[in-house]
Amino acid sequence: MRVVKRFGLDNLQSGLAVAVALVIGSMAIAGSAQAQSGEAAGKEHDRLVGRGVEVFQRCSACHRIGVEAENRIGPQLNNLIGRKAGTVKGARYSPAMVRAGAEGLVWTPETIDAFVADPKGFIEGTTMGLRGVDDADDRKALIAYLASFSTGPSNIPETPVPPRAGVDAGLPTEILALKGDAEFGEYLSGECVTCHQASGEDKGIPSIVGWPPADFVIAMHGYKSKKREHPVMRMIAGRLSAEEIAALAAYFNKKGQ
């Protein structure tokens, strides 16, 4: 029962608490440099991933990631973000991990952060031998590294998602407050609907019609600053100005109504 409790609300809350701490932490960093360019954010991401490679050394005795990674003592970690816990085919799991997945635990930056900070505290009965990564920046780095192997449509939000702590944090409020010019957005949307079906159907590529504007803006700035994965989206978002992103957000929101 304790496991259930840890995985139920309690733990979600403590996971969120950590996440909130992370948001505040990164806001503080970003605060001093709100005008920081997307390029600087990209550099920070590169630094994190670089550091993550080192932190991953603590995992690599049991886990593989990257090209054709296979299960070892622990499961392979490609496409970890968004994966339900305990579900990799052929991997060996503790009953506690399988149960956690069955109860709805999905690996997100927040849950990975909480788990890696204190594995046995997060999932009592996990067989993962890691003692825990104490340093919050190291965990952030590790997550950035793991996320870089989670590319692909599964890593694009299929539906509006709440901002991802640690990934989407630090967007200045002026940007969120920009009012979009929907007519301009309609013109710009021509570029989006070459891939994202204007009818809102999703097949291989997620729908972007009808999102709340704030979610749209946050996601696009996530790609623009290279914090979110996906090369096509980074390329497209990379050259859009904040006004253009706001215009698109306004247009696609309107289209969904």
Chain positions contacting another protein, by CB under 8 A? 66-69, 78-79, 149, 151-154, 183-184, 186-188, 190-191, 193-199, 201-205, 231-232, 234-236, 238-239
Nearest distance, CB of residue 177 and another protein, angstroms: 23
Angle (nearest 5°) at CA 220 between 217 and 222: 105
The smaller minimum CB distance to another protein, of residues 91 and 236, is found at 236
SS3 of residue 106 by DSSP = strand
The smaller minimum CB distance to another protein, of residues 99 and 196, is found at 196
The smaller minimum CB distance to another protein, of residues 2 and 239, is found at 239
**Does residue 139 contact residue 115 with C-beta atoms inside 8 Å?**
no
The smaller minimum CB distance to another protein, of residues 29 and 205, is found at 205
* Residue among 109, 84, 89, 107 nearest 19 (CA): 109
Nearest distance, CB of residue 253 and another protein, angstroms: 19
Nearest distance, CB of residue 226 and another protein, angstroms: 11
Q: Which residues contact 98 (CB under 8 A, 6 or more apart)?
A: 85, 86
Residue with tokens 């780095």: 141
Nearest distance, CB of residue 79 and another protein, angstroms: 5
The smaller minimum CB distance to another protein, of residues 46 and 201, is found at 201
Nearest distance, CB of residue 197 and another protein, angstroms: 5
Q: Within 10 Å of residue 192's Cβ, how many Cβ atoms?
A: 17
Taking the C-alpha atoms of residue 108 and residue 71, their distance in angstroms, rounded to an integer, is 20
